[in-house]
Structure formats: structure tokens, C-alpha cells
Structure 1
Amino acid sequence: MTALSSDLLPSGGHVVTRNRALDPPWRDGGNMSGGHMVTKRLTKRVVEALAPRDERYVVWDSDLKGFGVRISPQGRRTYLARFRTHGGSDRLMALAPHGVITAEEARERARLAIAEAAQGGDPQADKMERRGEMTMGELCELYMAEGTAMKKASTLKIDRIRIDRHIKPRVGRMKLSDVSRADIQRLMIDVGNGRIRAEATPHTRGGKHAAARTVGLLGGIFSFAIERKLMTENPVRGLKRYKDNRRDRFLSPAEMARLGDVLIELEKDGGDPRHINIIRLLLLTGARKNEIAHLKWSEVDLERGLLRLQDSKTGAKTIRLGAPAIRLMTGLRANGSVYVFPDRRHPKRPVANLDWAWVNIRKRAEMEDLRIHDLRHSFASAGLAGGEGLPLIGKLLGHSHISTTSRYAHLADDPLKAAADRISELVAMELMPTLVADTSSDPDI
């Protein structure tokens, strides 16, 4: 006698079975004892009309032999496929609960499983093997643990947010082999429309920019999986994405003058001098926000006109100060903190609330679309307007790309310092005229 092996059944479940001597259920042609019943074609209406009993029982489809539905005493209905392998073993495979898939979808899955078995395959064994396959959520965690050695802590923080708030809610439970380009496209659309944000947490930011960056992160995660031989194809490849919308917004001379006036007005009205001077230094140096906001006194060398940053987005970095920037920093008072701009409540920390202060500053300047990072663009724009070459400006901004940096390697420090002076003087003329050097007695001017 050949009976169904209990280890092939879903955990905790059992089906009353018959041995072959008493004929398998699909040969019976009608109602039978032993917990089996053959009915007409299984449809949504038929399946939902089946009433639970004291014990689980199975109803087999009359059209597709080997396709059935199991009803538990609690009323749960699970679609099944029964087949015999070429080795002579009977298999019973749970397909999916009713409601998760429709009766017709279950019928098609059963048909494919039975056909595979008839051709020598074993879909039940394949399913058991797939249970051990990694999910997308597990891949994301492996990537964060072992695939991000070259990333900065700030970048990893953003990656974690995108994984937890955008990727996992949509595809985290999917097996790697199940993730398709269509799944990634739907995820991108949902993030772009803010749908995942509403489902996960009200504080999650969606939008097309977030969607583009999330898909970019997924591309890197899949590439990592391919390197580890966990996947063979990258489902992001070939996907038409939203544009990243990297903006090249910069201040015109009139806008720079207006921003300078606003900063002077705020200073007179008792505005926070830390926030005001950080904004000025960002414009005078082209530095990134945290390179100035988190600046330490130990990194300041005013005698040589340098900021020697221990860390930045691209690692250790040197920023050359133009003459107006040196004059501005010379006027800053020592505050007893390691930071040039410390937090008032916690002097051992850098200044807080800069972003909120910036919202107020740009509103007063009537430039609400202006980001803090656009001040960096404005420094570069002022340099180009003053006739400086792109290599000099790239060197001053500290671009990290190897091919770009290598083009600047032959430049000496003297022309760089001169370029920093000229650009900063141009910015200072509009931003804060008192920082402009008095050159009336200089014979070379």
C-alpha cells in the first residue's frame, strides 16, 4: 500500500487518505467514504458553499483530476494538487488558501504541477526547496551587513530608511526568484504616489525623487546578490525610471543680494548668528552643509586659509578659504566648545535646527524653492561667471570622482588660492560688502 507521506503535508495538517487497493479518489467517479468527495467543477461559489465539519475533509474537482480543496473545522479552505512522481510516490501539495488566489488560479497551478510530474518533475520537492530560498527582506539585511563597506554612515542611514519604509512593505516577503521587473515597477509607482508611505507610517516621505533613489538602491542590492551568486539577473536592469530630478538651481546676482540683505536684517533683529554665519560661509566656500555646520576649531587654519576636515561625504578633505571667508571666521568668537557653531543647550554637539532656520530665511527672501545645497551650486556659478575654469572650480568643490579629480591633480595650490579669493570676493560683494577687501591702495589692482 502506498500512502501520502505526512512530511509532504502543510504543517499541522492531515488529509484522510485511501490506499491504492481501494482506488484513489479521482478514479471513484462519485461520493466516497474515508473523507473524500468528488463534486462538480470547483468554482468560487462551490468552494464557499462547502460547510466545515468536525474533521478536515477534501473535495476533489470533477474536471481536473488531482485538483481539490481542503476544508478545515474552522472553515479554512486550501487548494491542493495531488500527483504521482515517476518514482511511484504520491504527492499532495498545498497550493494556496482560497481568497489569496481564486479557484481558477488554483486550477491553473494544479494543472501545471500535475503536468510537471507527468514529465518526470517533482513540484512538491521544488516547493520544499524554495522554502529555504532567501527573501528580499533577508537579502536587504545581508546587503546592509556585508555589502556597504564603502558607504558613509549618513548614506547608510538613508538606505536603512528606504529599505524599511519602501522596499520591505512591498517586496520584503517575496522570494528572490519571484521578484520581477513588474514588481519593481509597481513599487516605484507606489512610492512615487506616496501609497507605501500611508501604509507604513505617516512620517515616511514618498514622491518621484524618493522612488528614483529607492530603485537605484534596489539595483545595487540586486548587483550584490548576483556577485554572491544568489541571483542570475538584475530585475532593475532595463526598467524605465522616474528622473532623479537633480536640480541645478543657483542664485542670480540679484537673488544673492536679496539673500544678503535678509541675513543682515536678521542679524539686526536678533537672529541666531550661528545660523546666519553658516549660510554666509556656505556661499563663500561652496562647502556642503555639514562641512560647515559640524566644523571643529581643530580643523580651522586661518593662517593658511584652510579648513582641514577630518571627515566629509568623500572622506578627509581640505577646503581653501577665500579672503572674505577668512575675515568672517576671524570675527567669530571662541565659545569654549570644540565646534565652531555649537548647540546652545549641548555645547558638546554641533548646532541644531539649521534646516528650520533656513526655511524662515528663504521665506523672508521670497525664494522658497531654494535648498541649502543650492548655495554650493551658486558658488560654482559665481566662479564660472567670473571666468574661472571648470577644473579650478571642481578642485575647490572637492569633487570625489577619480576621473574628475585626476584632471585637477596637476594644478598648484597658488592658482587655487587665487581662484578661491576671486570667487569669494565676487560672492561677498553681493552677500555682505563689509567683507570685501579694501583694494583702493593696492598698486596691482
Structure 2
Amino acid sequence: MADAPYFANRMLSALSSVFTWATDQGLIPEGHPKPTLKIETYAEHARERYLTPEEFARLGAALRAVEPQNPAPVAVVRVLILTGARLREILHMKWAYVDLDRGIVFLPDSKTGKKPIFLPAAAVAILERQPHLVGNPYVFPGRRPGAPLYSLTNQWATIQENAGLKGVRLHDLRHSFASIGAGQSLGLPVLGRLLGHTEPATTARYAHLADHPLRLAVEAIGGEIDAAMAPQIAPAK
């Protein structure tokens, strides 16, 4: 599994947990070494991918193309893009959590505990169009009665291919949301609040992106000054 180091590490962790559980249940003798014990994990590097404006345009076209056949999955992807929320937070979102008048989703539990998800007007409009299924409390219901939409794996693969976004994960939509926020000079505390981060250090990974407007500004100013100081070419007679 060397060609899939991240998946290999997750698999190793899962197998280790299985053998720990089996030992606790008495299925494996106490003190018996776990077969995963001396297997080294692969080195992991933070993977952060941000969509460019041109890639957002291609993604929008791909979503419109598949929306008639897959309206619910497309709606989930759109909400992910517009809010920076995590996939499970949207898939497991119940109508009881949603306050469309205030534009907020109050999650009683998430990866970081209780969390509000703030909805822009475009996201509110998407949720307003979702049907309320009798007997199912979820905003995006699945095929099984009373269950949420389970996964977007197949649908995202199709959207990804049609948009020419090879290697882009659904989680990268969250990074893209954060990158735009940082580029708008919103400030890391505000951005961290929107993303539901509990530690400032988690949001700090986007600090370098906050310099983007300053870079554009200094290029504009510097370019004008440099042009004014450059030798002036006399017009041809």
C-alpha cells in the first residue's frame, strides 16, 4: 500500500484497534503481541488544496450538469462550498437544528463539540428548496427510512471528473472556503469561528493566505511608482 500512504496509515490504525478490542474481549491471550505492533506508519504531510476562480467555474458547470439526476448530492456539495462545513456535519444535519430565519444551523455535536454553522443567503435558499420527508428528520435523507444520506463518494467522483478536478477531495472545499476568507482579510479569529476551530493554531495554517490582498496592493502601488520613475520615451515625430 505504499502508493496510498494515508489510507495505509488509517488501515493500520483500524487493525490495531480491532486487535485491542479482541484482547479486551478475551479472544486473544493477554500479552500476545499485536501483529500491527512493529509496522511503521508512512510519513504524512498536510494536504491543502485550494480551488482557483477558474476551477470554481468548472465545478459550477459540472454541478449544473448532474443536478437533474442527483439533486440532493449536488445540494450537499453546494452547501459545503458555501459554508466551509465538514461533510458529516451536513449529511447528519437535522431540520431541528436549522433556523433559516436567522441563517444558522445549531449542531448539538460535531468534531469539536457544539457548533453553529452560519449560512449565507445562497445556502439558505438551497435549504429552503429541500423537501421535508415525513418520518425522516434529516435535511438530506438517505434511502433507508429515517436515515441520512450516507455518502457522496460515487457522485463526487463523477462531478470531479466532469470538472477536471483530479485529486480534489470534498474536504478541499473547506480549505477553499477558508482560503477565500483569509484572502478577504476577515481575520483569523473570525475565520476560526466560521470553521468551528477550538484552537487558534488550527486556523493559523491559513495565516499566509491573509497576505494576498497586501501582495496585490503593493504590486499595484509599486508598479505605478516604478512606471513614473522609468525613463520617459519621447513620442515619435
Are 2:105 and 1:251 equivalent residues in the alignment? no
Match of 1:187 among 39, 61, 69: 39
1:263 and 2:117 aligned: no
Structure 2: runs of 5 or more not aligned = 1-10, 23-27, 205-237
Which aligned pairs between 1:418-433 and structure 2 lie closer than 5 A?
Answer: none
Q: Does 1:275 align with 2:73?
A: yes
The alignment status of 1:163 with 2:17, answered yes or no, reads: yes
- Alignment partner, residue 368 of structure 1: 166
**In the TM superposition, what is the alpha-carbon distance from 1:367 to its structure 2 partner?**
1.2
SS of residue in 1 equivalent to 2:59: helix
| Deviation at residue 384 of structure 1 after TM alignment | 1.8
CA distances 1:363-417 after superposition (whole Å, capped 9, x unpaired): 111112011111100100111222321221111000023x559x9xxxxxxxxxx
Partner residue in 2 for 1:28? none
Measured against aligned partners, the alpha-carbon deviations of 1:83-123 in whole angstroms (never above 9, x if no partner) come to xxxxxxxxxxxxxxxxxxxxxxxxxxxxxxxxxxxxxxxxx
Out of 190, 195, 206, the position equivalent to 1:397 is: 195
Give, in angstroms, the shift of residue 347 of structure 1.
3.1
Aligned-pair distance for 1:325? 1.2
- CA displacement, residues 217-243 of structure 1 (integer Å, 9 cap, x when unaligned): xxxxxxxxxxxxxxxxxxxxxxxxx2x
Aligned to 2:132: 334
The structure number with the bigger radius of gyration is 1
Q: Secondary structure at the match of 1:164?
A: helix
Aligned with 1:187: secondary structure?
coil
Report Cα offsets for 1:298-356 as digits up to 9, x if no partner: 0100111100012111122111111221122222222222000001x313000134122
Distance between the aligned counterparts of 2:60 and 2:86, measured in 1? 19
SS class of match (2:127): helix
CA distance in 2, matches of 1:385, 1:164: 44
Note the 1:175-254 alignment, pairs <5 A: 186-188=38-40, 211-212=41-42, 242=43, 244-254=44-54
Assess if the C-alpha contact under 8 Å between 1:308 and 1:318 holds in 2.
Answer: yes
> Residues 276, 298 of structure 1: CA spacing in aligned structure 2 closer, same or farther, 3 A cutoff?
same
**Which of 165, 180, 200 in structure 2 is aligned with 1:382?**
180
The structure with the greater share of residues assigned to helix is: 2
- Given candidates 82, 89, 95, the residue that maps to 1:291 is 89
Identity of aligned pairs, percent?
A: 38
1:325 and 2:123 equivalent?
yes
> Following superposition of structure 1 onto structure 2, how do residues 107-186 of structure 1 map, counting pairs within 5 Å?
160-164=14-18, 186=38
The one-character-per-residue Cα deviations of 1:216-270 (angstroms, maximum 9, x if unpaired) are xxxxxxxxxxxxxxxxxxxxxxxxxx2x222011111111111011001112xx3
Query: Structure 2 vs 1, CA of residues 161 and 277 (structure 1 numbering), >3 Å: closer, same or farther?
Result: farther
Q: Which residue of 2 aligns with 1:40?
A: none
Find the aligned partners of 1:299 and 1:371 in 2 and give their Cα distance. 26
Give the drift of 1:161. 3.9
The one-letter code matched in structure 2 to 1:163 is S
Q: How many residues align?
A: 185
State how far apart, in whole Å, the 2-side matches of 1:161 and 1:292 are: 28
Contact 1:359 1:368 in 2 (8 A): no
Q: Give the distance between the partners of 1:339 and 1:352, measured in 2 at CA.
A: 11
Q: Is the 8 A contact 1:308 1:317 kept in 2?
A: yes
Q: What's the C-alpha RMSD, in Å, of the aligned pairs?
A: 3.0
Aligned to 1:101: none
**TM-score with structure 1 length normalisation?**
0.38
Mark the CA change 1:160 to 1:304 in structure 2 (over 3 Å): closer, same or farther: same
Question: Secondary structure at the residue paired with 2:133?
Answer: coil
For structure 1, the residue ranges without an aligned partner over 5 or more in a row are 1-156, 189-210, 213-241, 408-445
Equivalents in 2 of 1:258, 1:400: separation in Å? 33
- What secondary structure is seen at the aligned counterpart in 1 of 2:117? strand
Deviation at 1:287, TM superposition (A): 0.3
Q: What one-letter code is carried by the residue in structure 1 that aligns with 2:60? A: G
Pair 348,161 (structure 1): closer, same or farther in 2 beyond 3 Å: farther
Write out per-residue CA displacement over residues 137-184 of structure 1, whole angstroms, 9 at most, x where no aligned residue. Answer: xxxxxxxxxxxxxxxxxxxx9954443379x9xxx98959x99xxx96
Distance in 2 (CA, whole Å) between partners of 1:357 and 1:292 is 16
User: Is the partner of 1:319 in helix, strand or coil?
Assistant: strand
- Give the aligned partner of residue 108 of structure 2: 310
In the alignment, the residues of structure 2 paired with residue 158 and residue 388 of structure 1 have an alpha-carbon distance, to the nearest angstrom, of 40
Q: In 2, Cα distance between the equivalents of 1:274 and 1:162?
A: 36
Q: Report the TM-score when normalising by structure 2.
A: 0.69
Aligned match of 2:212: none
